Amino acid sequence: MGKRRNTTVTLKDIAEKAGVSKATVSNVINGNRQKVSEQKAHAIQRLIDTLGYVPNHSARSLSNRSSKIISLIVHTDRDRNVLEDPYTAAFAGALLQLLQQRDYFGMIRCTSGYNDILKNLRSWNVDGVIFFGTFDKDIRDMQERADIPFVFTDSYSSVRRINNVGIDDFKGGMLAAEHLAGHGHRQIAFFAPNPVSSEVDAQRKEGFAYALSKHGVALPERNCFMASASQGDAMAESLLSLPEKVTGVFVTADICAIALIEALERRGVKVPKDVSVIGFDDIPASRLITPKLTTVQQDIPLKARYAVDILMRHLKEPAAPTENVILDVTLIPRGSVASINHNPDAAGETGPFDTNPSLSR
């Protein structure tokens, strides 16, 4: 037959075979049913189905100025595999899934450069963006220049009108402190990724120190360290080289807490018998290790749902009010915290704080 190399069927083809204009076909494709007679709509829809017509996104995006692409921007300085981090992977995966269900396309982009971001958004006609991690510096400027909805996560930006979904980091820190103090720990250490770079970790630390102080427990600065999933050994050494013996540790990321526990065990330091550890996030691995990790849980799927919902609302109605939703966190007692001077086997099942209603999910 007269087939060309490119057999793609276009809207024009449909229009010709149906004996109508392209505008009409366009209308049925886009569901503007009130603009098309029942009869033609049917006929056209049939053509579309039988010919297997697929709209061309580029063309649509070009004339539409809307691409159905949502940029998922992950802040990272070094060039690395960000999905190796379980929290990032779980959150990104949840977002991708929700977006796909709503006929949008999530596009993951790792970058730190503010210009790179803007370039990316414009070149792809991106419809909206969800940010991972802290981008506090240039938020206002980016917002102005992009003119599409932004949703941040875990932002502590002082910009007032901002869409954000975060968690109660301060409370998370408090829960950890109360759990530790409630189990009789008084010599405490704290670990956060990077030298507490982000406000997120600063808040967790503040909440932690605050609740600790209410129990008359101090958190000296020299007991605060940098955490890194790849440097469990360094973490363990820091801890063990402290002049007084620490019995309770709070690490603001499960993945780092797990690395620390591993390094400690390797040195013959038992968790929770010798030292108790609390993590943060509740990644899947936390319930698979031995001992299971006691941790401050954040609801990652819920966070993803809020981020997408807010974004969708602003996509529909650009003038919608900005929203900053802060999700609750809960402490999940498992096996990595023991009571001081108690049988470690009973850890997590005793102590006044396990009856705290906020802890029993």
Partner DNA sequence: CTGAAAGCGCTTACAG
Q: Which is nearer to a second copy, 109 or 140 (CB)?
A: 109
* Min separation Cβ 43 and DNA, Å: 10
Which of a second copy, DNA, none lies near 12, with the C-beta cut-off 5 to 8 A by kind?
DNA
Q: Which is nearer to DNA, 5 or 78 (CB)?
A: 5
Determine if 58 is a binding residue for a second copy (CB under 8 A). Answer: yes
DSSP-based three-state secondary structure for 353? helix
Determine if 288 is a binding residue for DNA (CB under 7 A). Answer: no
Determine if 100 is a binding residue for a second copy (CB under 8 A). Answer: yes
Determine if 345 is a binding residue for a second copy (CB under 8 A). Answer: no
Q: Which of 22, 33, 119, 245 binds a second copy (CB under 8 A)?
A: 119
Cα angle value 340/359/334 (rounded, 5°): 55
Which of a second copy, DNA, none lies near 290, with the C-beta cut-off 5 to 8 A by kind?
a second copy
DSSP 34-101: GGS-HHHHHHHHHHHHHHT----HHHHHHHHS---EEEEEEE-SS---GGGSHHHHHHHHHHHHHHHH
Q: How far apart are CA 272 and CA 98, in angstroms?
A: 38
Which of DNA, a second copy, none lies near 10, with the C-beta cut-off 5 to 8 A by kind?
DNA
Q: How far apart are CA 150 and CA 208, in angstroms?
A: 31
Task: Kindly tell me the sign of the dihedral angle through the C-alpha atoms of 164, 167, 171, 176.
Answer: negative
Site for DNA in 4-33 (CB under 7 A): 6, 8, 10-12, 19-24, 26-27, 29-30
Q: How far apart are CA 135 and CA 153, in angstroms?
A: 9
- CA-nearest of 49, 58, 7, 59 to 28 is 49
Q: Which is nearer to a second copy, 101 or 355 (CB)?
A: 101
Say what the alpha-carbon torsion angle 218, 224, 229, 235 is, to the nearest 10 degrees: -100
> How is residue 192 written in tokens?
């956060």
Position 48, amino acid: I
Bridge-based pairing state of the strands 330-332 and 294-297: antiparallel
Q: Which of 80, 137, 161, 245 binds a second copy (CB under 8 A)?
A: 80
Q: Which of 25, 47, 48, 94 binds a second copy (CB under 8 A)?
A: 94
Q: Any residues with CB less than 8 A from the CB of 327 and at least 6 apart, and which?
A: 165, 166, 167, 168, 298, 299, 302, 303, 306
Site string for DNA, 241-280 (x = CB under 7 A): ----------------------------------------
Determine if 51 is a binding residue for a second copy (CB under 8 A). Answer: no
Q: Which is nearer to DNA, 21 or 213 (CB)?
A: 21
Determine if 109 is a binding residue for DNA (CB under 7 A). Answer: no
Q: Quick check: 275 and 264 in contact, CB under 8 A?
A: yes
Candidates 38-46, 106-114, 162-170, 188-196: pick the segment binding DNA (CB under 7 A). Answer: 38-46
- CA-nearest of 63, 86, 64, 83 to 72 is 83
- CA-nearest of 333, 329, 327, 328 to 348 is 333
* Min separation Cβ 142 and DNA, Å: 20
Which of a second copy, DNA, none lies near 265, with the C-beta cut-off 5 to 8 A by kind?
a second copy
How far, in Å, are 104, 200, 275 from residue 135 at the CA level? 24, 12, 36
In the complex, which residues of this chain contact a second copy (CB under 8 A)?
8, 54-59, 61-62, 67, 79-84, 86, 89-90, 92-94, 96-97, 100-101, 105-110, 119, 122-125, 229, 232, 258-259, 261-262, 265, 284-285, 287-290, 292, 301
In the complex, which residues of this chain contact DNA (CB under 7 A)?
6, 8, 10-12, 19-24, 26-27, 29-30, 34-37, 39-41, 53-56, 59-60, 62-64
